Structure 1
């Protein structure tokens, strides 16, 4: 275990408040050329988004009543989710996916990053570039759910993490970090994320995104499943009427290491925790493909939350998936995107 893993983590914003004038964060998103923008005349109504959120809570995640009593969603949350959906459409997202992504307003986001040496030594630095691009896009989207962006970002081998991260801070975080150490995903997931953020008085459920470029090193097999299983059991024991819906887990890989792919596939199909986790079936590099960007993003952020996005790994799984997502068409596109991203360029053309 890395030094300081069992100590209370210090989450500090990477930039001082003085460097961010009031209102600058929203401007950062609006002015960004990362997505490209297009205006849409398809107005999203607050009543539509409220229906999406309430249907999700009543059909899939009844345990969220622990946080939103009797599905009584605050008007402020609904309006922010509505604004978010409209913004995403303007940025080029489809209407269906934008409405689904509005579900993220119900969750805080914590990210755990692999910072082993292979992140910089393999593939001529392309892994770090892909990681930076992906995190910038995720931060842009999450800034639409909360002004402060991503709740926390932690590295496996760094004692301290970063809190309230927006897209303009990502490059500095990624480039200034020193990459070395073990890939102890289960150990650090428990120490840096679950022990710190999953508490009896947490205000919102938590989405945990883990990104790795390889198989585990420095911890025994089974630690990841054990840690996630313990988290789920603890929530069921403490809040029996709310099942295990306080925490959702999503895993993704960067790079071409077969060990990472096998690890995440095993976690996703685990007989005990498989129903509580999801994996992105392609590398995060696929998010840079303009034809796949929104589908990959939706799968990466909603797969651990929305059942039909979880099942949307292959056409076969998609065809047998129970239709419970807010938008059936979006699920189909995610499945097709995953398959296209696995094909060589000539086959996908």
Structure 2
């Protein structure tokens, strides 16, 4: 007890600070040594079989990150319980009244004197020992909903399997993204009725940057729904991306007009969308190569490639034959393949607005063309219909956009998804 020095700090009402100046062999150090040997000795033997059975059974399916997180929470609960009971229990066991402990009270840390007082203190009447107060119960940690737990588990499995080739995804970063996305996707799913089995797949979008390539040709004005649907789709994708992971990069490029890299605020997005013009004569093939494929290939060569979802929004045909278009995208895949096998690098989603029958037929061939059908997801229904199906509600449309790639995660393009990092 000689080496334990405790003091109180005067602070505003409602705040309590207790600290101790520890030299060596303090009462807590003694207690921790005894506790450690007790846990590792006969006390542990009594529960060894139950602990080992649980560890090798139900816990064996957990990842190292999940187990470490659970152990940290449990250790925090146990520490709170031990520390809250420490003085009352020790007082009861030793027969010492808590009120017998005298401590100097100080106004400023570091200015307390530990010298004996020159005045003789008045004798204090002996008080009758009181029983130790009951410790206040420690509030239980809120239980994580099962859907969130399952989503987090699947996100960790996805990251472990697919993202090892990307140095920007450290273990800590993966944990941060996983925890955030597993929680936030539940709100999107609730508003948009995403099927439970698709929620973890939709949450995988948290690991991707987004690049939008939209059609700014004059034909977009031929139907009243095309331009509003394009703008609402971009807003919905932005909201979904930033809800799942606020650090996602979100870029917007038109076929022939402006380019905006890494849109960071909703106000910036609103300004960009408001200023969109639709008056060029371009089609998708040229801009896709010049504004999307070539820059991504360069980033891969320079070891700067982030996993990216490319969303192409157009009302027209490809601007070339399907075989030529396929060859262009296949060449891009080969470029990635030659650069240290970069993992699940790029996902393509092609969205059609409007009801042009010839454009629909041209784009439909993508779902059957060899080499392309496994690289680009094209939903044959125009996205005008998706927006109309939710009554134009942009919040609900967020979920429609977030779940579309997730629902087809097994079939759509994850270029290099079978590569070994």
TM class, shorter-length: 0.5 to 0.7
Equivalences for 1:292-307 in 2 at 5 Å? 293=397, 296-298=400-402, 300-302=404-406, 306-307=409-410
Give unpaired runs (5+ residues) of structure 1: 1-40, 312-349
**Higher RCO structure (Cα 8 Å, ≥6 apart):** 1
Structure 1 residue 261 corresponds to structure 2 residue 360:
yes
Partner of residue 307 from structure 2, selected from 189, 205, 209: 205
TM-score for both structures, normalised by structure 1? 0.64
C-alpha spacing 1:146/1:237, structure 2 compared with 1 (3 Å): same
C-alpha spacing 1:150/1:252, structure 2 compared with 1 (3 Å): farther
Q: Is the 8 A contact 1:225 1:273 kept in 2?
A: yes
Q: Distance in 2 between matches of 1:134 and 1:112?
A: 12
Q: Is the 8 A contact 1:267 1:273 kept in 2?
A: yes
Task: Report the CA distance between 1:53 and its aligned residue.
Answer: 1.7
Other-structure match for 2:75: none
For residues 270-325 of structure 1, give each alpha carbon's deviation from its aligned partner in whole angstroms, at most 9, with x where no partner exists.
20122111112211113322289577424533367x115x49xxxxxxxxxxxxxx
C-alpha spacing 1:55/1:148, structure 2 compared with 1 (3 Å): closer
C-alpha spacing 1:193/1:246, structure 2 compared with 1 (3 Å): same
Equivalences for 1:329-344 in 2 at 5 Å? none
TM-score for both structures, normalised by structure 2? 0.54
Q: Distance in 2 between matches of 1:48 and 1:114?
A: 38
Equivalences for 1:86-165 in 2 at 5 Å? 86-89=186-189, 91-94=191-194, 96=196, 97-120=198-221, 122-123=222-223, 125-147=224-246, 151-164=250-263
- The count of corresponding residues between Structure 1 and Structure 2 is 261
C-alpha spacing 1:70/1:156, structure 2 compared with 1 (3 Å): closer
Between 1:108-117 and 1:268-277, the stretch displaced more is 268-277
1:207 aligned counterpart, secondary structure: strand
Give unpaired runs (5+ residues) of structure 2: 1-142, 414-421
Equivalences for 1:1-349 in 2 at 5 Å? 43=145, 47-56=149-158, 62-67=161-166, 72=171, 74-89=174-189, 91-94=191-194, 96=196, 97-120=198-221, 122-123=222-223, 125-147=224-246, 151-164=250-263, 167-198=266-297, 199-200=299-300, 201-202=303-304, 204-217=306-319, 222-240=323-341, 242=342, 245-288=344-387, 289-290=389-390, 293=397, 296-298=400-402, 300-302=404-406, 306-307=409-410, 310=412
Task: Report the CA distance between 1:107 and its aligned residue.
Answer: 1.1
For residues 115-168 of structure 1, give each alpha carbon's deviation from its aligned partner in whole angstroms, at most 9, with x where no partner exists.
110112x12x22111112222211111111332665211000115334325555
Q: Is the 8 A contact 2:322 2:369 kept in 1?
A: no
Q: Distance in 2 between matches of 1:272 and 1:223?
A: 11
C-alpha spacing 1:42/1:163, structure 2 compared with 1 (3 Å): same
Task: Report the CA distance between 1:234 and its aligned residue.
Answer: 1.1
Task: Report the CA distance between 1:171 and its aligned residue.
Answer: 4.6
Q: Which structure would you say has the larger Rg?
A: 2
Task: Report the CA distance between 1:75 and its aligned residue.
Answer: 1.4
